[in-house]
Structure 1
């Protein structure tokens, strides 16, 4: 039986500000924003990822302090280009750090407005072999 991680609940203090940050600055896709008498949440997914973040006021989020998540990790094929893209969109990002010359040894980081932190790892192999094939992307198997 496969067990897949598909959602990470991320504690934030301001839903609208966080949607703007993750969608417009970091470049995640906004899958949906749902508001009813029980909740107000949004789900966003990094392009090419099988795992999304959910932000808002679900009970699990209310148990965590906004900004308390540390070291969530994203993977990109080109860390220098990804960092430049974030900087261009107004996201503060750390300098590139090369822990090892092998593929997978280059990182940088950034934080959201609440202080949740992200590490970004370069895996050059993702350029030729994405984790999720392009033809299989999208909400219903439709390519992005």
Structure 2
């Protein structure tokens, strides 16, 4: 049996600001933006190529303090290209960091151990890791 993670709720304080950040700055696809009532709205966004989406909302998602989600991680095949794209889109992203030692020989020294880090406007923390091939 497959168990797939398909949605992660990201707590935000301002839906429109968060939607703009994830869609326009990060390039996530807006799957839907549903207004249920004056007090309830749900926005689902998906990173390009991902099987897992994020949901931001009010009135229909569990209450969590905005900015309290830490450790979300995206994976890309080319970290330098991904970082350049984030910088071009105005994201305040860290320099490339090598975390640990590579567990196996690979042609690119950033594979598996190369990361950049950023936060959304509320302080939810993200990492981007380079994995261009898997064992």
Length-normalised TM-score, structure 1? 0.82
Deviating 4+ runs (over 6 angstroms): none
Quick one: distance in 1 between partners of 2:80 and 2:61?
37
Q: In structure 1, what is the Cα distance between the partners aligned to 2:30 and 2:68?
A: 22
Q: 2:132 aligns with which of 106, 110, 124?
A: 124
**Residue 23 of structure 1, CA deviation:** 0.4
Q: Distance in 2 between matches of 1:96 and 1:29?
A: 25
Whether contact under 8 Å (2:9, 2:61) holds in the other structure is: no
Q: Using the alignment, how far apart are the partners of 1:90 and 1:9 within structure 2?
A: 24
SS in 2 for 1:104: coil
Per-residue deviation, residues 19-68 of structure 1 (Å, max 9, x unmatched): 100000001000000011262010000000000000011241xx210000
- Report what 2:114 is aligned to: 106
Size of the aligned set, in residue pairs, is 124
Instruction: Give TM-score scaled by structure 2 length.
Output: 0.87
Could you list the runs of 5+ residues in structure 2 that have no partner in the other structure? none
> In the aligned structure 2, how far is the partner of 1:87 from the partner of 1:116?
18
Over the aligned positions, Cα root-mean-square deviation in angstroms equals 1.4
Over 3 Å counting, the alpha-carbon distance change for 1:41 and 1:27 in structure 2 is: same
Deviation at 1:71, TM superposition (A): 1.0
Q: Which residue matches 1:56?
A: 57
Q: Kindly indicate which of the two structures has a greater share of residues assigned to strand.
A: 2
For 1:85 and 1:98, the matched residues in 2 are separated by 19
State the SS of the aligned residue for 1:80. helix
* Unaligned residue ranges in structure 1 (runs of 5+): 127-144
Q: Does 1:15 align with 2:15?
A: yes
Shift of residue 2, structure 1, vs aligned partner: 1.4
Q: CA deviation at 1:98?
A: 1.1
